[in-house]
């Protein structure tokens, strides 16, 4: 099965001038873009932990997500997508159909973001589906966005509403690569992170890396309609709590100087509706501010991976 599937796959991988040696050899050879730095990220998704196959969770949606979460990491670095390698451990039963379904979700997304699939590896076993994608991007020297540059006085911007992703958006991830490149072309982004594990948790990570405190205006946190829907399902969690802690929104969280933040919100790139929801101040941790001006410590909430 494996040899036949690899032959099928190689016949469908488009040739790309960035690959000096294309897929099918022991390794691909990538031509790095001239005068740029290489950005590398990897994510591994496991059935039963990151997704449950069946029903609406098709192999194509899993393939889409596996690449999209890596593209979101590149977006959080302000990087341009270049190439990816994909490794899958397929359950023995129905392995070929499963592999083809994953490709059907992954390939169109790679094409949309101008990324070449440089190769990878396949295996079959008696366990669940496991898929690992390593994505490669590029940035100009010294231009990579980082988590550790936020300064007191910066404003906090999120590129879209948060919460309720488990109603379906956690699979149909829309990485903000094009928007990140458009923002990078116009503004100096002091710090950035993508919201994978929860708005408050990922903000706390940015503040910890920067040695600063995040002041969150609760009334200004953008709440996704899905968060409202989840709250109406009588789960005992408010829409705001969903927005702060659900995770898998894959919007970008940015810290910018005040003038840049306000200019971005006033004239954003197409496809996003950025919102200023707080500011960076001296100190550590997170603080919530209510509409009446009162404040209290904000405990970060979100998805904590085992061992994190």
Summarize pLDDT for 107-121 with one digit per residue, the tens.
999 999 999 999 999
Common-topology check for domains 2-139 and 155-297: no
Q: What is the mean pLDDT of the chain?
A: 95
Distance CA 153, CA 157 (A): 13
Dig out the tokens for 165 from the structure: 């992703």
The answer on pLDDT for 307 being more than 70 is no
* 187 touches 179 (CB < 8 A): no
Q: Which CATH class is domain 2-139?
A: alpha beta
Residues contacting residue 278 through CB under 8 Å, at least 6 positions apart: 155, 156, 203, 214, 215, 216, 217, 220, 289
Question: What pLDDT sits at residue 235?
Answer: 75
Domain boundaries, the chain: 2-139, 155-297
* 249 touches 197 (CB < 8 A): no
Distance CA 221, CA 199 (A): 9
* 40 touches 33 (CB < 8 A): no
- Helix, strand, or coil (residue 166): helix
Q: Which helix (H) or strand (E) holds 108?
A: helix 95-112
DSSP code string of 221-250: S-B-HHHHHHHHTT-S--HHHHHHH-----
- The DSSP symbol for 167 reads G
Question: What pLDDT sits at residue 306?
Answer: 56
* 162 touches 247 (CB < 8 A): no
- Percentage of the chain modeled with pLDDT above 70: 98
Strand order in the sheet with 295-297: 189-194, 252-256, 155-158, 275-281, 213-217, 286-289, 295-297
User: 65: closest CA among 44, 48, 85, 81?
Assistant: 44
The answer on pLDDT for 160 being more than 50 is yes
Average pLDDT over every residue of 301-305: 80
Average pLDDT over every residue of 264-289: 98
The answer on pLDDT for 308 being more than 50 is no
Question: What pLDDT sits at residue 1?
Answer: 64
The answer on pLDDT for 125 being more than 60 is yes
The answer on pLDDT for 73 being more than 90 is yes
Distance CA 79, CA 76 (A): 8
The answer on pLDDT for 31 being more than 70 is yes
Question: What pLDDT sits at residue 41?
Answer: 98
Average pLDDT over every residue of 137-164: 98
User: 216: closest CA among 150, 301, 296?
Assistant: 296
More confident residue, 17 or 3: 17
Distances in Å between the Cα of 122 and the Cα atoms of 23, 91, 152, 155, 286 are 13, 11, 48, 45, 43
The third-level CATH classification (topology) of the domain covering 155-297 is: Phosphoribosyl-aminoimidazole Synthetase; Chain A, domain 2 (3.90.650)
Dig out the tokens for 232 from the structure: 């109406």
Choose from 10-19, 60-69, 226-235 the range with maximum mean pLDDT.
60-69
- Percentage of the chain modeled with pLDDT above 90: 88
* 133 touches 85 (CB < 8 A): yes
Dig out the tokens for 280 from the structure: 């960076």
pTM: 0.95
User: 138: closest CA among 182, 189, 192, 79?
Assistant: 79
């Amino acid at each position: 099965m494996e040899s036949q599937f690899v032959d099928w796959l190689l016949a469908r991988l488009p040739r790309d001038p960035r690959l000096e040696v294309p897929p099918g050899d022991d390794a691909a050879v990538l031509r790095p873009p001239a005068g740029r730095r290489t950005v590398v990220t990897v994510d591994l998704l496991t059935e039963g932990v990151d997704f449950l196959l069946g029903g609406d969770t098709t192999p194509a949606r899993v393939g889409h997500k596996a690449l999209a979460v890596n593209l979101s990491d590149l977006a959080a670095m302000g990087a341009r997508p270049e190439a990816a390698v994909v490794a899958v451990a397929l359950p023995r039963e129905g392995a070929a159909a499963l592999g083809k379904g994953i490709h059907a979700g992954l390939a169109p997304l790679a094409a949309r973001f101008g990324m070449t699939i440089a190769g990878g590896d396949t295996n079959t076993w008696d366990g669940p589906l496991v898929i690992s994608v390593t994505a490669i991007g590029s940035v100009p020297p010294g231009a990579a966005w980082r988590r550790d540059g936020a300064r007191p006085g910066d404003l906090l911007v999120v590129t879209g509403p948060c919460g309720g992703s488990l109603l379906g958006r956690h699979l149909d991830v829309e990485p903000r690569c094009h928007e990140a490149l458009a923002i990078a072309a116009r503004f100096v982004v002091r710090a950035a992170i993508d919201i994978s594990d929860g708005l408050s948790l990922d903000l706390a990570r940015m503040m910890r890396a920067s040695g600063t405190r995040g002041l969150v205006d609760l009334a200004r946190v953008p709440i996704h309609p899905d968060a409202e829907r989840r709250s109406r399902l009588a789960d005992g969690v408010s829409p705001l709590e969903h927005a702060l802690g659900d995770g898998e929104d894959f919007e970008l969280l940015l810290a910018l100087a005040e003038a840049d933040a306000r200019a971005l919100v006033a004239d954003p790139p197409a496809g996003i509706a950025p919102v200023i929801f707080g500011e960076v101040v001296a100190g550590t941790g997170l603080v919530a501010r209510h509409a009446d001006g009162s404040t209290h410590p904000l405990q970060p909430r979100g998805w904590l991976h085992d061992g994190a």
